[in-house]
């Protein structure tokens, strides 16, 4: 529950601005923010930043080291690694955005149902959340992909299965806390419908902390996408993904280190950037979530 949500918009905006200024005073947060901005810009302006086509095969230029022409060198098919890394960033951010948004939507609905619904339903859902959350994810992903085949959708589905229980749990806890608060009781006594209470009174209050937590989960999402693509269970070739570049690097590791380094570095930079930013954001916005 954030105080900002119940304040008038102007006050909320200045509150947001103050938090942002506090963020800028934390060196680690600034560092994380810079990395994130760098990654986003690189992905958005991929076409401007490099003239190379990430999927164009050029057998004569295989295994080239970094040079002025190929900033990160080329892979075993002669494709420009810098271009592949930039375009791989698009895939990573796309998956992060889409799957987080869907997970949030599903998590909010399930959490509100568990928190606001009858007790038995709550208990059942908590059991399901706990069971799913503590399950070895990659194993489930492997089993799933065996059936539906490797694809970007499979990645998104796995991310949703991993993320939803955590989000639903948070929403549920917050909902239960707010359900018994005075303004909800007042609304109920004035005959507001359940839908209205959920939408108008509870939702705005539970969504703040959730968004912070979701932003902190972005590195996990990126790791899942890269990991599945690394195993060949995610993005299909020749589409570039950091995970598949890393896989190319792994299979060629005895010939050249460059491909593996080029595949690994953007993953490290992005996960570190989002993590440092998320950690600082959490401390700045909502100290109560500290140590979760």
Residue 260 in the binding site for other proteins (CB under 8 A): yes
The pattern of x and - marking residues 145 through 164 that bind other proteins according to CB under 8 A reads xxxxx---------------
Q: What's CA 232's distance to the chain center, in Å? A: 20
**Site residues (CB under 8 A) for other proteins, limited to 20-79:** 28
Applying CB under 8 A, among 116, 167, 276, 285 the residue interacting with other proteins is 276
d(CA 29, CA 24): 7
Beta bridge pairs of residue 74: 80
Is residue 262 within 8 Å of 81, Cβ to Cβ? Answer: yes
d(CA 100, CA 278): 15
Residue 127 in the binding site for other proteins (CB under 8 A): yes
CB of 224: closest distance to other proteins in angstroms?
Answer: 9
Applying CB under 8 A, among 20, 272, 283, 289 the residue interacting with other proteins is 272
Residue 249 in the binding site for other proteins (CB under 8 A): yes
Residue 116 in the binding site for other proteins (CB under 8 A): no
The pattern of x and - marking residues 202 through 241 that bind other proteins according to CB under 8 A reads -----------------x---x--xx--xx-x--------
Q: Which residues are within 8 A (CB) of 35 and not within 5 positions of it... i.e. 6 or more apart?
A: 269, 270, 272, 273, 274, 276, 277
Classify the C-alpha dihedral 118-123-124-128 as positive or negative.
positive
Applying CB under 8 A, which part among 65-73, 85-93, 191-199, 257-265 lies near other proteins?
257-265
DSSP 88-142: HHHHHHHHHHHHHHHHHHHHHHHHHHHHHS-HHHHHHHHHHHHHHHTS-HHHHHH
Applying CB under 8 A, which part among 47-55, 111-119, 181-189, 263-271 lies near other proteins?
263-271
d(CA 107, CA 113): 10
Residue 275 in the binding site for other proteins (CB under 8 A): yes
Cα–Cα distances in angstroms (integers) from residue 66 to residues 57, 79, 243, in the given order: 17, 12, 20
Applying CB under 8 A, among 5, 11, 121, 131 the residue interacting with other proteins is 131
d(CA 169, CA 133): 10
Residues contributing to the site for other proteins (CB under 8 A): 28, 127-128, 130-132, 134-140, 142-149, 219, 223, 226-227, 230-231, 233, 246, 249-250, 253-254, 257, 260-261, 263-264, 267-268, 271-272, 274-276, 279, 291
């Amino acid at each position: 529950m954030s105080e900002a949500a119940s304040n008038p918009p102007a006050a909320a905006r200045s509150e947001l601005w103050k938090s942002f200024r506090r963020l800028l005073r934390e060196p680690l947060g600034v560092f994380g923010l810079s990395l994130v901005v760098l990654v986003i810009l690189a992905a958005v302006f991929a076409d401007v930043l490099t003239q190379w086509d990430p999927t164009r095969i050029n057998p004569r230029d295989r295994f080239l080291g970094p040079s002025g022409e190929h900033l990160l060198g080329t892979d075993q098919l002669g494709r420009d690694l810098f271009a592949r890394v930039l375009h791989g960033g698009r895939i990573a951010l796309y998956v992060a955005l889409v799957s987080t948004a869907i997970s949030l939507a599903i998590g909010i609905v399930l959490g509100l149902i568990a928190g606001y619904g009858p007790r038995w339903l709550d208990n059942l859902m908590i059991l399901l959340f706990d069971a799913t959350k503590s399950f070895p994810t990659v194993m489930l992903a492997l089993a799933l992909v065996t059936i539906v085949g490797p694809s970007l959708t499979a990645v998104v589905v796995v991310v949703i299965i991993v993320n939803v229980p955590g989000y639903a749990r948070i929403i549920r806890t917050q909902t239960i806390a707010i359900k018994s608060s005075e303004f909800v009781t007042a609304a109920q006594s004035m005959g507001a419908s359940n839908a209205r209470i959920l939408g108008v009174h509870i939702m705005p209050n539970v969504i703040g902390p959730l968004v912070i937590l979701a932003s902190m989960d972005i590195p996990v999402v990126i790791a899942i996408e890269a990991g599945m693509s690394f195993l060949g269970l995610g993005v299909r070739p020749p589409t570039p993904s950091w995970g598949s570049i890393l896989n190319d690097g792994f299979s060629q590791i005895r010939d050249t280190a460059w491909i593996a380094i080029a595949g690994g570095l953007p993953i490290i930079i992005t996960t570190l950037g989002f993590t440092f930013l998320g950690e600082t954001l959490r401390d700045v916005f909502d100290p109560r979530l500290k140590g979760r």
